[in-house]
A and B are shown apart, each in its own frame.
Chain A
């Protein structure tokens, strides 16, 4: 595949990862923090930004590690451990760097960074990138799109849940129940974007 075709492919994957194949609404990844942290917009915003940043960087790091270390050594089955270690190390490193150089940013994102290590969306994106055999340039589009898609979904959910705060909801549905129903409705809406990508 030549470069321009690859960039075009990357763009399509980027749009698809945001809308039709949203990592949260179509693949259910990162659902735990999505339900836990979507109560208010401010927290959702911080976590969403952290996810975009970490997901993009670690997926690219993982791509390099997988294709230049594991594949030549025929240690592909080892990828689970390698990916987890890279993600954990990266998050730790970012946390230290942010704390040292930008106290303001640390205040905003600090509490969310450790949570990210166990966010399945980050790990899932790395695994999808391997299974779908993306090239490096396509992976850039995929990682950025996935992060943005997750951000969009949690922001929308936080907005809706703030409006719901004073509504009367059946007792068994309060909290996670109603959030899941809302997520289902959002997933339906996002499937509607499929028409945008038709004809490719």
Chain B
């Protein structure tokens, strides 16, 4: 990423995170830990909420401490800051929503190694003021969320015939032969590939028009 201008506009940050440099179909980062939970929309929502919380706050925190952190232990400090926020999520889920915590399994903890969190802290939080870092993290996480939600909606409806656990009229009826493959791992790979393909195609078409 090229160094942004001295005081980038909030609007600019939003466009970058949501669309132009979208974490999933442009950077292809951080798909590891969240792809596994996209077979149900509910799980995806909780997971993405956790991710938004972590990315925005840890990027802002890294930014606050950027002047006092020695360069050579930077990565370690960033990891600890991220882990701090993830532990908060894990403890909260364990206290108020244990069944969801069991559903998500190890994937809540895996937010720590999610490349997008570290990526934003490194690329932005490390050399920009906290306010901008917070916005940058927030919009990147939102861009990430909207793509994953698209995947989750398709997977749940096509594979199980439900949406947020409620049956969807046509897809849960006898007329629809459920695509069980959509809720299995290969379905996630195919769906993600199609989504990447679609968004990149739209983007490329837009770029060509602009020329």
B-binding residues in A (CB < 8 A): 25-32, 35, 77-81, 84, 88, 117-120, 123-124, 127-128, 130-131, 170-173, 175-178, 180-181, 183-185, 187-188, 191
Contact = CB atoms under 8 A, between A and B. Distances in A.
B32 A28 contact: yes
B193 A120 contact: no
B86 A124 contact: no
Interface stretch (B61-69, B103-111, B167-175): B103-111
Nearest to B26: A176
Contacts of B105: 127-128, 131
7 contacts: A31-B32, A80-B83, A80-B86, A120-B33, A123-B109, A171-B204, A177-B196
A14 to B, nearest CB: 19
Interface of chain B: mostly helix, strand, loop or mixed: helix
B129 interface: no
A120 B113 contact: yes
Given A32-B31, A80-B86, A184 B109 contact: no
B154 to A, nearest CB: 14
Nearest to B88: A77
Interface in B25-44: 28-33, 35-36
Interface in B170-211: 181, 184-190, 192-193, 196-198, 200-201, 204
Given A28-B36, A30-B32, A80 B196 contact: no
A29 B184 contact: no
Interface of B: 28-33, 35-36, 75-76, 79-80, 83-84, 86-87, 90-91, 94, 105-106, 109-110, 112-115, 118, 181, 184-190, 192-193, 196-198, 200-201, 204
A172 B189 contact: no
A73 B75 CA distance: 28
Contact of A188 (B28, B94, B186, B200): B186
A28 B204 contact: no
A177 to B, nearest CB: 5
A93 to B, nearest CB: 14
Contacts of A32: 28-32, 115
Contact of A191 (B118, B186, B200): B186
B201 A184 contact: no
A128 B76 contact: no
A110 B131 CA distance: 38
B90 A184 contact: no
Contacts of A131: 105-106
A77 B75 CA distance: 22
Given A127-B109, A131-B106, A35 B28 contact: yes
Contact of A81 (B32, B80, B181): B80
Contacts of A35: 28
A12 to B, nearest CB: 20
A134 B193 CA distance: 34
A188 B187 CA distance: 9
Given A31-B35, A120-B110, A191-B184, A180 B192 contact: yes
A175 B26 CA distance: 11
A180 to B, nearest CB: 4
B112 A80 contact: yes
A172 B109 contact: no
A104 B118 CA distance: 31
B200 A29 contact: no
B112 A187 contact: no
A29 B31 CA distance: 9
The 8 closest A-B pairs by CB, nearest first: A184-B189, A127-B106, A180-B193, A172-B200, A172-B201, A187-B186, A31-B32, A120-B113
Contacts of A123: 109-110, 112-113
A28 B35 CA distance: 7
